[in-house]
Amino acid sequence: MDFEHADALNQAIRLLSLRHRARAAALLAPLGLYPGQEALLLELDRSGAMIQAQLSEALGCEPPSVTLMTRKLEATGHISRRPAPADKRASVVELTDSGRALVARIRELWRSLAEETTAGLSARTVAELPGLLKTLTDNVDTRQPRS
C-alpha cells in the first residue's frame, strides 16, 4: 500500500473514531452518561451480573477505568456492587431497576446513532460492517500477542 492510500485510510479511521465518540457523547449527555458508561450498562444487560475483572475484559478497558465507571454509576443508582462470594476482594456488579430502565433508553439512542452513522450505505454494506470493523480492531489489538 502506498503512503497516500495508507494516510487516507488512517485519517478516515481516526476521524470516524473521534466524530463517532463526540456524537455519542452529545447523545448520552441528556441521560447523564459519558462515553463508555453506556457500554458498561449494555454489557451488564447482555451478560448479567459479573465481577469487575470480567467486565473489564468484556469491555476491553483497563480495570481502573471500569472501577471509576462503576463508582459513578453506583452513585447515580444505575448499578449495585457487592463483594464476590468466592473472593471478598472482588466486586460483583449488576444493574438496578434504574439501570435497566436506562438501558432501554440507551438501546434506542444506539439504534439512532448506528442509523445516522451508516446513512447512505447499502443494506449489504451495513450488514458486513460489524465483521469488517472487528477484523480491523483485532488487527490492532495490543492486548493480543502478534503472530
The domains located in the chain, with CATH, are 3-131 (1.10.10.10)
Residues, the chain: 147
Within 10 Å of residue 16's Cβ, how many Cβ atoms?
12
**Per-residue CA distances from 17 to 78, 104, 117 (Å):** 27, 24, 11
pTM assigned to the model: 0.86
Q: How far apart are CA 41 and CA 129, in angstroms?
A: 23
Q: What is the pLDDT of residues 1-50, one digit of tens each?
A: 999 999 999 999 999 999 999 999 999 999 999 999 999 999 999 999 99
d(C-alpha 101, C-alpha 36), whole Å: 18
**The three three-digit cell numbers of residue 135, written as one number:** 477484523
Q: Distance between CA atoms of 38 and 24, rounded to whole angstroms? A: 10
What is residue 144's predicted lDDT score, i.e. its pLDDT?
Answer: 63
